[in-house]
Amino acid sequence: EKAAKRQKKQKKAKDGEDEKLKEVDETKEDKKEGDDDEQPKPKKEKKDKKQKQKQKSTEDSTETTTSPAKAVVAKTAPLPPAPPKLTPLQASMREKLISARFRHLNETLYTRPSEEAFNLFDESPEMFDEYHQGFRRQVKVWPENPVDSFLKDIRTRGKVRQQGKGRPGAPPTPLTKTPLPRTQQECTIADLGCGDARLAEALQSDGKKLKVNVKSYDLQSPSPLVTKADIANLPLVDGSVNVAVFCLALMGTNWVDFIEEAYRILHWKGELWVAEIKSRFGPVRNKNAPVTHSVGNRKKNAMAGKKGKKGADNDAEHDEDLAVEVDGMDDRRRETDVSAFVEVLRSRGFVLQGDREAIDLSNKMFVKMHFIKGASPTKGKHVKEQEAPKGKRGIIRRIDPIDEQPEVNEASVLKPCVYKIR
């Protein structure tokens, strides 16, 4: 019996060893099959990669050969962005190049009509970005940006509610306390020559609350808020705007056409806001000084010699200095004279909004003026011919010829910003 039990145990051990050997053999066979399956895969992947690389190279070559416009755009692209690491000398040279480019474009806009400037930016839109890149650099140096003061006026006056007529003889309400002009409870503002539309962008948050709608126009459209247009020919209906704004935007040689276009689009009693650089206006002239372009003054200058002329000029300057230093007179020689500009706008139907607050000369660099569309134009394209009353013959009178002053070129009232060649 013991021998039989031993034999049974030995058989079981042999059977277990045989099963283990079978499992080991099966695993080895599986590994071999897996290796056989995986070996050809890398070859296929390499072939696929090579084919993809060939396709990319062919596509790149076709793009370069079939798209010459892209190459032209690359050549006429704006100034490249500054690399991350620049030496102080390289940085200063780059700043000078950007400012020189801005001065050139700025002078171009001041010395050409708006139609030419419109076509220039239409052909090369990147020049508009270059110009405003330089403009933003200048704004950083200014003590104040006129756009900020206009924003303040809009927000202050936008909260003022319309009131009834005041008592007769009462003092006029200050400009900051008068409500904005509105049509059907909404004030439409046209920002003409808006640049990057800072006025419209700043009023996006509270514009609906104030019921103010800003429409921005310029020679190029750098953002969805700006409509591309020539300021002398705006895509607006007659009398559809309550406030027209020219913030450093009377730049073309035909800036008088801009004023006439503003008169067309403005509602009756609508407002015109102007901000300009003081250097564009002439200095205050002495009341007793002769008019420089008068006939008598020109004859005297022609009769006098060069020496006498030089001496007279020196004497006049010396008298002015003595009047300031000895007599205690106010030194107004450096003040800005905007009377000629106001006269041009008056002839186009714009009247100053109030006496004292209408012209703001408090800023060292800029002049701010407020006008109202409140008169009939006596010059320009909007002059209406007055018909003679029927049934009456006009009286013909003979008028002797009088030496009249020659007509002054109205465009020359605002001086262009011209830079010295360096």
Is the residue at 377 inside a domain? yes
Q: Say if residue 214 is in the same domain as residue 243.
A: yes
127-131 own/partner pairs: CB under 8 Å, 24+ apart: 127/78, 128/219, 128/220, 128/222, 129/78, 129/222, 130/78, 130/79, 130/98, 130/101, 130/102, 130/105, 131/102, 131/105, 131/106
Ranges 13-17, 168-172, 381-385, most confident: 381-385
Q: Say if residue 231 is in the same domain as residue 379.
A: yes
Is the residue at 48 inside a domain? no
Q: Say if residue 311 is in the same domain as residue 183.
A: no
Is the residue at 33 inside a domain? no
**How many structural domains are present in the chain?**
2
343: pLDDT strictly greater than 50: yes
Query: What local confidence, expressed as pLDDT, does residue 10 receive?
Result: 72
Query: What local confidence, expressed as pLDDT, does residue 138 receive?
Result: 85
User: Following CA atoms 33, 36, 38, 40 in sequence, which dihedral angle do they give, to the nearest 10 degrees?
Assistant: -160
Q: Say if residue 315 is in the same domain as residue 193.
A: no
Is the residue at 107 inside a domain? yes
Q: Say if residue 130 is in the same domain as residue 277.
A: yes
**CB–CB of 272/246 below 8 Å?**
yes
Query: What local confidence, expressed as pLDDT, does residue 56 receive?
Result: 53
Q: Say if residue 181 is in the same domain as residue 307.
A: no
Q: Say if residue 314 is in the same domain as residue 189.
A: no
Calculate the alpha carbon distances from 215 to 199, 225, 398 in Å: 9, 8, 52
Is the residue at 214 inside a domain? yes
For residue 360, give every residue at least 6 positions away whose Cβ sits within 8 Å of its Cβ, in sequence order, or none: 367, 368, 369
Check residues 389 and 350 and name the one with the higher pLDDT.
350
Residues making up the chain, counted from first to last: 422
Place of tokens 């703001």: 360
Query: What local confidence, expressed as pLDDT, does residue 30 receive?
Result: 53
CA-to-CA distance for 129 and 252, rounded, in angstroms? Answer: 18
Asked whether the CA dihedral 111, 138, 282, 316 is positive or negative, the reply is negative
User: Which tokens go with 49?
Assistant: 């990669």
Q: Say if residue 147 is in the same domain as residue 206.
A: yes
Is the residue at 66 inside a domain? no
Identity of residue 337? D
pLDDT digit string (tens) for 9-65? 676 666 666 665 565 555 555 555 544 444 444 555 555 655 666 555 555 544 444
Place of tokens 């009286």: 395
**CB–CB of 377/349 below 8 Å?**
yes
Q: Say if residue 229 is in the same domain as residue 374.
A: yes
**CB–CB of 234/266 below 8 Å?**
no
Q: Could you tell me the CATH number of the domain that includes residue 345?
A: 3.40.50.150
Query: What local confidence, expressed as pLDDT, does residue 217 receive?
Result: 98
Calculate the alpha carbon distances from 33 to 20, 23, 107, 305 in Å: 20, 15, 81, 116
Domain holding 147, by residue range, is 95-161+175-284+336-383+412-422
Q: Say if residue 274 is in the same domain as residue 303.
A: no
Query: What local confidence, expressed as pLDDT, does residue 226 receive?
Result: 96
Out of 11-20, 172-181, 287-296, 352-361, least confident range? 287-296
Is the residue at 361 inside a domain? yes
Query: Of 271, 305, 334, which residue sits at a domain end?
Result: 334
Q: Say if residue 277 is in the same domain as residue 220.
A: yes
Is the residue at 108 inside a domain? yes
Q: Say if residue 255 is in the same domain as residue 204.
A: yes
